[in-house]
Structure 1
Amino acid sequence: MTALDSPAAITSATRNPLRWVVFAVVFAANIMDLLDATIVNIAGPAIHVDLGGGANTVQWLSAGYTLAFAVLLIAGARLGDILGRRPLFLVGSAGFTIFSAACALSPDIGVLIAFRALQGAFGALMIPQGFGLMREALDDKEFDKATAMFGPAMGLPMIAAPILAGALVDWDLWGTGWRLVFLINVPVGVVSFLLALRTLPRGASHSGMKLDVPGVWLIGLALVAIIYPLIEAQPEGWPFWTFALLAAGLVLLLVFLVWEKRRRSDALIEPSLLTNRNYLSGIAVALALFGAFGGLLLCVSLYGQLGEGWSPMHAGLTLMPMVIGMIAGMVGGTMAVARLGRHVLHIGLLVIAAGVATLALTVTGATSASSWDLLPGLFLVGAGAGASIGQLFQFILSSVSMREVGSASGVLEATQQLSTSLGVAILGTIFLSGFGEHLPTHALTVTAWACLAPIALAFALVFRLPMRARAESAAA
């Protein structure tokens, strides 16, 4: 019997009549985070017009948030183990809501990017506590149902955010313009915070544990050294320092992994996770998949607004076929996973690849492309993402014990945010490089073909996952 199956956990869950409210609070927190991580893909051009900034401003509005989130997320997960998950969630929720309002009041682009980073930092305290809090409140069967819902929860907001942002910017309610995309979080955050105060389990803290401060510095410096030059290199003309900084970041990342393997009692990442093949393989799949998906979303949005002159609402509605496709893919993936196992992920990735190829072929040689022209490719991308993302989280978390769940969820969330940041930086740089000297359709063509590389990598990595998500868990 694993820690996940302990009678104590089951007894605790049955005594909590508000346990599904706990799930709703955690779910709402993740929705707010993912909406904010992707909403500026549509609002970014309007923000750029209003507040100014350089050519890479839109990239930094997204990457500033996700980079701060990814850097601090693993530390946030460990702090939850040390100080208790409930207080860390409450502090993170309050800070996230406050800085959402601060973003809406930003007087210039530099202040907005700084507030976005602080918003991401408080999100990093809040989000990694979620799976642990649910594990304390729900019994095993309920927890399985809850984690099955989280796959779709991670994907749908990435699609819904651009549509919501476009509507809010175009409506310009009370003359707020783009600022409403940040204000929309405030009432949701306040309600979630009040419900969290009432329902979250108090759990236990482990004051004897210590935070691995050198590890926090190592992973933080590594990620900054990797992301920063990817965003700044294209406007600067790819000078030597960008390659040097990238190399330094990769070295620091390797040093961090070696450091963590040598730590035992206070490691940022549970040492057992670093030897868990199924978990690490799933993390690698997520890194490739979310990078491709998040980067492509940004580039399609930029193409519509900067290349075709679409309004934010038009650009957001252009992504509606992805929403419909994603819902269809989720339903199909859920129905087929028991029979097909990990092959559902393979099918989903193949459908994404077909959609990306369709998108590239549609705009190849064209001088312009309408929303209707992009519809078939976007629908296929959404359907494939729904089938794969909807099931991936089950495969990743199936072999994780209760002792590992805090660290495992922190690494998973950090991977998702980091991969999105990398996708925005790399694919955004490819798009903007082509956009400056060629037709917008050419820039989108090159970006779409480049997107196939991480999708192919994810397809190959799926072979390292167990055939059935529950098989490994049952054997643990």
Structure 2
Amino acid sequence: MLALVLAAQFMALLDVFIVNVAAPTIGSDLHASGADLQLVIAGYTITYSVLMITGARLGDRLGHARVHLAGLALFTAASLACGLAQGADELIVFRLVQGAGSALMIPQVLSLIQRTFTGEGRARALGVYSAVLAVGAAAGQVLGGVLVDADLFGTGWRPVFLVNVPVGVVLLLLGPRVLPLGGAAERERSRGLDVPGLLLLGGAVSLLTVPLVLGQEEDWPLWSWLSLASSAVVFGLFCGYESRLARRGGAPLIAPRVLRHPGMGLSVLRILAAMAVNGGFLFALTLHVQGGLGYSALRAGLTFAPTAVVFGVVGLTWRRWPASWQRALIPAGFVVAALGVTGVGLSFHGGGEGGAGLYLAFAGVGTGLALGFGPTLTRALATVRPEDAADASGLLATVTQLGQLIGVAAFGTLFLNRLESLGSPQAYTSAEALLTCTLALAAAAAVGAVSGLVLRRR
């Protein structure tokens, strides 16, 4: 069961990154404008983020395994449609549908882990889950480069979507045999579906996500700032409505006891920080090595391999480290991540390609982010009651995705603005912009560690 749901998780995460390296080929083949390419890349992320909580709640109502398989079927069909698309408009629509499929499929992964495993088994399963997140991000860059460069049978960019189809079909055939299609989830059907809450939260996330995804490319027009401000207002309305609903004895979208769960607020903060650093680091480094240093898509993807490998190894082994270390792992992880991203910036400084110290810095980034994210997620979910699995899973999955988006938007904007202000030559100025960005990333990681310590004391 774990292998099946994590394979689906890996495939969906892969699709966030794999399309980036295929964008130039898609643009030339479909005569797509810059705005079209933007929506091809971002459309998936937008619907994925907006509908994540909805997917979690539907799993709670209809059965996590059933909704997972329904999302997998939708994702697989949309992947086929993307691979066969004959125009940019078609591709954009199918990418939106693909993101909706992921939003149905992915929240069920954590819920199924919560309901299936207990104790040390749950901790191990969550460790594998964390490792899959890191490997999927790097593998998307690498696999995208391989498929585009190979140009299989003259199909150009299409295999980056079509590769999902055979994998999805196999998982759909195996799913009914290994997933628990009945049982615990059905007992939760009496809990109503909070439609007004879903609409308010979906609106708030949409107003936040769309400008984060599209704002930089559009040079942050007025509508993007109005949208961000409106998201805060709508989110306030959502919180007020949910509080009133809970007081009246209704069934709010996220159970108040989940939000009040000891350490949940701190966990949300740390996951946001870790994923923002991760998203900003990957984005800025991709821009530097492909734009500044002129790496091919494949070489750029391989650049991230050391970070992903170390993230995976640490994510799978940290529970076996000495017990006396466990309490300090998360803040120490943020400190190591801060040192690692700073080391990467210094290694590329001056326009060079780095040396032996670069790989040590990559290992530091992987180690730090694994310790900042993995133990935080495990501890947040370790004591959540099975009946609250959907609420906690949807909340943390959404926070993970939003953290990535915020990191790309904030640190990507910093990198690009610094690059523009410096001018030429490209390799040198790109390295300078990367150093500025990595110092900001280090500061964000440090805030994650310090704020966690302060909140723990309180």
Task: Name the CA shift for 1:46/1:135 in 2 (closer, same or farther; >3 Å).
Answer: same
* Contact 1:66 1:418 (C-alpha < 8 Å) held by counterparts: no
How is 1:426-437 mapped onto 2 (pairs within 5 angstroms)?
Answer: 426-437=410-421
How is 1:428-467 mapped onto 2 (pairs within 5 angstroms)?
Answer: 428-437=412-421, 438=423, 439-463=429-453
Indicate the SS of the match to 2:190.
coil
Indicate the SS of the match to 1:267.
coil
* Contact 1:334 1:387 (C-alpha < 8 Å) held by counterparts: no
Q: CA deviation at 1:434?
A: 3.3
* Residue equivalent to 1:340: 325
Q: CA deviation at 1:129?
A: 1.9
Q: Distance in 2 between matches of 1:428 and 1:142?
A: 38
Q: CA deviation at 1:353?
A: 0.8
CA offsets 1:387-423 (integer angstroms, 9 cap, x no match): 3333232111122111111111111111111211222
* Residue equivalent to 2:407: 423
How is 1:129-278 mapped onto 2 (pairs within 5 angstroms)?
Answer: 129-138=108-117, 140-201=119-180, 202-203=182-183, 204-205=185-186, 206-264=188-246, 265-278=250-263
**Would you say 1:318 and 2:303 are equivalent positions?**
yes
Q: Distance in 1 between matches of 2:136 and 2:56?
A: 23
Q: CA deviation at 1:60?
A: 4.6
2:279 to 284, 291, 294: 294
* Residue equivalent to 2:426: none
CA offsets 1:85-133 (integer angstroms, 9 cap, x no match): 2321121110011112222223344433332221111111112222333
* Residue equivalent to 2:69: 90
1:358 to 343, 354, 375: 343
Q: CA deviation at 1:443?
A: 2.9
* Contact 2:342 2:435 (C-alpha < 8 Å) held by counterparts: no
* Residue equivalent to 2:395: 411
* Contact 2:54 2:198 (C-alpha < 8 Å) held by counterparts: yes
Q: CA deviation at 1:320?
A: 2.1
* Residue equivalent to 2:270: 285
AA aligned opposite 1:463: L
Q: Distance in 2 between matches of 1:94 and 1:339?
A: 46
More off after superposition, 424-433 vs 395-404: 424-433
Q: Distance in 1 between matches of 2:205 and 2:441?
A: 21
State percent identity of aligned pairs: 36
* Contact 1:278 1:465 (C-alpha < 8 Å) held by counterparts: no
Q: CA deviation at 1:26?
A: 1.5
Q: CA deviation at 1:308?
A: 2.4
AA aligned opposite 2:233: V
Task: Name the CA shift for 1:82/1:213 in 2 (closer, same or farther; >3 Å).
Answer: same
AA aligned opposite 1:253: F
AA aligned opposite 1:316: G
* Residue equivalent to 1:100: 79
Q: Distance in 2 between matches of 1:367 and 1:145?
A: 41
Q: Distance in 2 between matches of 1:346 and 1:58?
A: 39
AA aligned opposite 2:195: V
Q: CA deviation at 1:313?
A: 0.8
Indicate the SS of the match to 1:187.
helix
* Residue equivalent to 1:307: 292
Indicate the SS of the match to 1:208.
coil
Q: CA deviation at 1:246?
A: 1.3
AA aligned opposite 1:256: F
Q: CA deviation at 1:304?
A: 2.0
Gaps of 5+ in 2: 424-428
Task: Name the CA shift for 1:420/1:191 in 2 (closer, same or farther; >3 Å).
Answer: same
TM-score for both structures, normalised by structure 2? 0.88
2:95 to 116, 131, 134: 116
* Contact 2:270 2:372 (C-alpha < 8 Å) held by counterparts: no
Q: Distance in 1 between matches of 2:287 and 2:27?
A: 12
Query: Number of aligned pairs?
Result: 445
AA aligned opposite 1:120: G
CA offsets 1:46-100 (integer angstroms, 9 cap, x no match): 4445445565776654443222112111111111122222321121110011112
Q: Distance in 1 between matches of 2:452 and 2:176?
A: 40
Gaps of 5+ in 1: 1-21, 468-476
Task: Name the CA shift for 1:217/1:371 in 2 (closer, same or farther; >3 Å).
Answer: farther
More off after superposition, 30-39 vs 236-245: 236-245
AA aligned opposite 1:117: L
AA aligned opposite 1:227: T
Q: Distance in 2 between matches of 1:58 and 1:357?
A: 32
* Contact 1:363 1:441 (C-alpha < 8 Å) held by counterparts: yes
AA aligned opposite 1:448: T
Indicate the SS of the match to 1:178.
coil
Q: Distance in 1 between matches of 2:346 and 2:321?
A: 30
RMSD over aligned Cα, in angstroms? 2.7
CA offsets 1:238-271 (integer angstroms, 9 cap, x no match): 3433322211111212222222222233311112
